[in-house]
């Protein structure tokens, strides 16, 4: 944790007072801890993006191209013609305020421009001024504003203080989606070389190596082999985990953090145990070694560039269909964009589970199935031998990740899996889960160190709901199915609810899975901690001994 980060007692004391001046006359002050470093020259240039240069948002001079205003206005015109969402969302907001207190950043920071309506008004004001008759004639009276450098700075500050989680969109009577507006805003900023490094460098890595972390093919292979060894140590079963295997039935794509970061890794071990146990003929790919897609946080073109490898690799390897791991924004891309952008996947077959024979009709065209859909089907058909009591040491709650819940509707599959592999599951309060779930506060490329204060603020609504179930039910594990969540909820919990750790659903699946040929004294979960039923078993043994 950063030494500059204020204590939780300080941060939870949110100041909701409003500035004396109206929002049109106040501008962001770029306080340290609230913004992200700029994209490095190297990464921006590697991706052939415009105006790579050395600058920081805290600089007085942002070294904008001399015609930056024309570039942006032209970019707006272009996007208004390309996206009906953009046009309509610029026109129809009535500022009813229903979205205002739905944003985690607003709840955690009290900054009025974090009310989704005002975040969008920053863009709308320019739209009205430049593209509507009323705004051209009446200017401010009609809500129009000139695009000044001050306003551009606000764009940068607030469009990189939105995690595109879409919670506000659920409550908007017209379905205005701030994520869509933020995406447009970020595309426009990119046109004049304004972007952040936590997006640009992972995107550049991903373009070059296939994954955000920049892991090279042999490193990928090592990671997988390492996990295979760990699974062996833990279970006594040597699983197979092929990489780049041609002719496998299924290509399995996961976010790179799954095989490289903690606590994702235990979930990755869970996948390996599960897929081995059912004898699935699958392969990983060192080329498509990333399901996540930071291009989504940059522009639709970048998203397409980074996503292209998945279908390309499925085709090269000659698989029948694709399975996708636990990840949030990856699934937004796969569910809502991939087929449109890089399809049609007519070289693949309609996904059918080789174990249960279930046809995944909901993935008929895209040909990619979510691991939770896949596992839920296995459990429902009784294909897994599970001992939920092995997870009795875990008292869990479940965090719906934004993208699978509001960009897909994957709500009950994970819950079914959870309830099948453990006994102590507790939901957080109703208005903070399912489609009303709160963001981790660090999504959409904002999960880095320099904006840690803002992350802790933005994550507060989520953390507060976790605190509630921790106090009420003794919850000690926050489950989630998103790689960014796993990476960022961990420090969030450390800060707000230190007794609670974070983990994958498939980690618990791996724990509960009774494997053929597992070592008889298998007594520890994938983290190496004693099974929840260890004590009970021992007592039973002792009793048996006495008898």
Partner 1 sequence: MRVIIPLVAVGALGIIGALGGYLIPGLFGVVVPYAALAVFLVGIIVNVLRWAKSPVPFRIPTTSGQQKSLPWIKQNKFDNPSTMVGLIGRMAAEVLVFRSLFKNTKMELGHDRNVTYGQEIFLWVAALAFHYSFLVIFLRHFRFFMEPVPFFSTMLAQVDGFFEITVPTVYLSGLVLLGALGYLFFRRIYYANLRYISLPADYFPLFLIMAIAVTGLSMRHLPWFKADLFVVKDLAVSIFSLSSPPVDALRNMQPMFFAHLFLVSSLIAYFPFSKLLHMPGIFMSPTRNLVNNSRVKRHINPWNPEVKTHTYEEWEDEFRDLMRDAGLPLEKDE
Q: Which of residues 284-343 bind partner 1 (CB under 8 A)?
A: 286-287, 300-301, 304-305, 308-309, 312-313, 316, 334-337, 339-341, 343
Report the C-alpha gap between 287 and 317 in whole angstroms.
Answer: 11
Residue 49 makes contact with partner 1 by CB under 8 A: no
Alpha carbon of 236 to those of 94, 229, 506: distances in Å?
62, 10, 18
Per-residue interface string for the shown chain with partner 1, residues 18-47, x marking contact by CB under 8 A: x---xx------------------------
Tokens of 332: 């937004």
Q: Would you say 306 and 354 are in contact if contact means Cβ atoms under 8 Å apart? A: no
Q: Which of residues 352-371 bind partner 1 (CB under 8 A)?
A: 358, 360-366, 368
Least Å from the CB of residue 362 to partner 1: 5
Nearer to partner 1, 228 or 534 (CB): 228
Shortest Å, Cβ 95 to partner 1: 5
Q: Which is nearer to partner 1, 133 or 517 (CB)?
A: 133
- Gap between the Cα atoms of 181 and 299, Å rounded: 12
Preceding peptide of 263 cis, ω within 30°: yes
Number of residues interacting with partner 1: please give it, by CB under 8 A.
118
Q: Which is nearer to partner 1, 263 or 295 (CB)?
A: 295
Is the Cβ–Cβ distance between 248 and 283 less than 8 Å?
yes
> Which residue do the tokens 């895209």 mark?
366
> What separation, in Å, do the N-terminal and C-terminal C-alpha atoms of the chain show?
54
Q: Least CB distance from residue 164 to partner 1, whole Å?
A: 11
Residue with Cβ nearer partner 1 (164 or 525): 164
Q: What distance in Å separates the CA atoms of residue 199 and residue 310, rounded to the nearest whole number?
A: 20
Distance CA 67, CA 112 (A): 31
Q: Which of residues 89-148 bind partner 1 (CB under 8 A)?
A: 89, 91-98, 100-102, 107, 112, 115, 117-118, 121, 132-134, 141-143
Residue 344 burial (CB count, 10 A): 12
Pick from 147, 172, 272, 433: which binds partner 1 (CB under 8 A)?
A: 172
Residue in 50, 53, 83, 153 binding partner 1, rule: CB under 8 A: 83
Least distance from partner 1 to the Cβ atom of residue 268, Å: 19
Q: Which is nearer to partner 1, 92 or 536 (CB)?
A: 92
From candidates 66, 218, 516, 546, binder to partner 1 by CB under 8 A: 218
Task: Check: CB of residue 481 under 8 Å from CB of residue 328.
Answer: yes
Our finding on whether 271 is near partner 1 (CB under 8 A) is no
Q: Please answer whether residues 40 and 197 qualify as being in contact, where contact means their C-beta atoms are separated by less than 8 angstroms.
A: yes
Check binding of 173 to partner 1 (CB under 8 A): yes
Question: Site for partner 1 (CB under 8 A): which residue of 70, 226, 431, 539?
Answer: 431
Query: For partner 1, which is the closer residue by CB, 274 or 372?
Result: 372
The CA-based dihedral angle spanning residues 35, 495, 401, 47, taken in that order and rounded to the nearest 10 degrees: 30
Pick the binder of partner 1 from 170, 261, 524, 534 (CB under 8 A): 170
In whole angstroms, how far apart are CA 72 and each of 41, 122, 180, 375, 431?
A: 21, 14, 17, 46, 38
Compute the least distance from the CB of residue 48 to partner 1, in Å: 7
**Interaction pattern, residues 460-499, with partner 1; x per rule: CB under 8 A:** xx--x--xx-------------------------------
Q: What is the largest CA-CA distance in the chain?
A: 94
Task: Write the CB contacts of 461 (distance below 8 Å, at least 6 apart in sequence).
Answer: 104, 107, 108, 432, 438
Choose which of 435, 449, 494, 518 interacts with partner 1 (CB under 8 A): 435
SS3 115: coil
- How far is 15 from 486, CA to CA, in rounded Å? 29
Query: For residues 132 and 501, which CB has a smaller minimum distance to partner 1 in the complex?
Result: 132
CB-CB neighbours of 279 under 10 Å:
11
φ, ψ of residue 484 to 5 degrees: the values are -65, -40
Does 384 participate in binding partner 1 (rule CB under 8 A)? no
The single residue among 6, 32, 409, 474 that binds partner 1, judged by CB under 8 A, is 409
Shortest distance, position 37 Cβ to partner 1, whole Å: 25
- Please state the closest distance from residue 279 (CB atom) to partner 1, in A: 21
| DSSP H/E element including 369 | strand 368-370
Q: Could you say which residues in the range 501-530 bind partner 1, by CB under 8 A?
A: none
Q: Which is nearer to partner 1, 112 or 263 (CB)?
A: 112
Instruction: Give, as ranges, the residues between 179 and 208 that touch partner 1 (CB under 8 A).
Output: 180, 207-208
CB atoms within 10 A of CB 529: 12
Question: Is 84 among the residues that bind partner 1 (CB under 8 A)?
Answer: yes
């Amino acid at each position: 944790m950063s030494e500059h980060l204020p204590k939780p007692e300080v941060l939870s004391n949110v100041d909701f007072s409003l500035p004396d001046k109206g929002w049109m006359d106040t501008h962001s002050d770029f306080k340290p801890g609230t913004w992200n470093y700029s994209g490095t020259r190297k990464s921006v240039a590697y991706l052939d993006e415009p105006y790579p240069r050395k600058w920081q948002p805290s600089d007085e001079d942002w070294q904008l191209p001399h015609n930056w205003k024309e570039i942006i206005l032209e970019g707006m015109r272009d996007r208004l013609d390309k996206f009906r969402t953009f046009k309509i969302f610029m026109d129809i907001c009535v500022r009813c305020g229903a979205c205002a207190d739905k944003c985690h950043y607003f709840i955690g920071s009290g900054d009025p421009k974090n009310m989704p309506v005002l975040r969008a008004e920053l863009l709308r004001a320019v739209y009205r001024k430049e593209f509507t008759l009323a705004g051209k004639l009446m200017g401010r009276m009609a809500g129009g504003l000139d695009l000044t450098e001050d306003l551009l700075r606000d764009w940068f500050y607030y469009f990189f203080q939105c995690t595109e989680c879409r919670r506000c969109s659920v409550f908007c009577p017209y379905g205005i989606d701030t994520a869509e507006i933020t995406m447009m805003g970020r595309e426009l900023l990119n046109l004049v070389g304004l972007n952040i490094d936590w997006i640009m460098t992972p995107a550049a890595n991903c373009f070059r190596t296939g994954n955000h972390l920049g892991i090279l093919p042999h490193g990928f292979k090592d990671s997988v082999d390492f996990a295979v060894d760990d699974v062996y140590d833990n279970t006594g079963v040597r699983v197979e985990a092929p990489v780049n295997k041609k002719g496998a039935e299924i290509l399995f794509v996961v976010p790179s953090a799954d095989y490289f970061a903690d606590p994702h890794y235990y979930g990755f071990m869970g996948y390996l145990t599960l897929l081995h146990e059912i004898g699935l003929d699958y392969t990983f790919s060192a080329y498509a070694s990333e399901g996540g897609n930071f291009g989504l946080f940059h522009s639709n073109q970048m998203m397409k560039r980074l996503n292209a490898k998945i279908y390309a690799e499925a085709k090269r390897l000659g698989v029948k269909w694709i399975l996708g791991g636990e990840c949030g924004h990856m699934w937004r891309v796969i569910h809502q964009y991939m087929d449109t952008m890089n399809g049609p996947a007519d070289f693949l077959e309609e996904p059918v589970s080789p174990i249960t024979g279930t046809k995944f009709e909901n993935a008929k065209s895209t040909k990619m199935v979510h691991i939770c859909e896949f596992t839920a089907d296995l459990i429902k058909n009784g294909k897994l031998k599970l001992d939920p009591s092995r997870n009795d040491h875990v008292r869990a709650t479940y965090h719906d990740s934004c993208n699978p819940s509001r960009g897909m509707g994957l709500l009950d599959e994970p819950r079914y899996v959870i309830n099948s592999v453990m006994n102590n599951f507790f939901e957080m309060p109703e208005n903070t889960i399912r489609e009303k779930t709160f963001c981790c506060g660090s999504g959409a490329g904002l999960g880095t160190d320099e904006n840690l204060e803002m992350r802790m603020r933005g994550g507060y609504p989520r953390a507060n709901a976790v605190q509630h179930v921790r106090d009420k039910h003794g919850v000690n594990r926050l489950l989630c199915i998103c790689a960014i969540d796993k990476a960022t909820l961990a420090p969030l919990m450390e800060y707000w609810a230190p007794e609670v750790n974070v983990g994958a659903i498939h980690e618990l699946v791996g724990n509960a899975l009774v494997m053929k040929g597992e070592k008889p004294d298998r007594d520890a979960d994938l983290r190496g901690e004693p099974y929840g039923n260890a004590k009970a078993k021992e007592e039973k043994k002792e009793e048996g001994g006495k008898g």
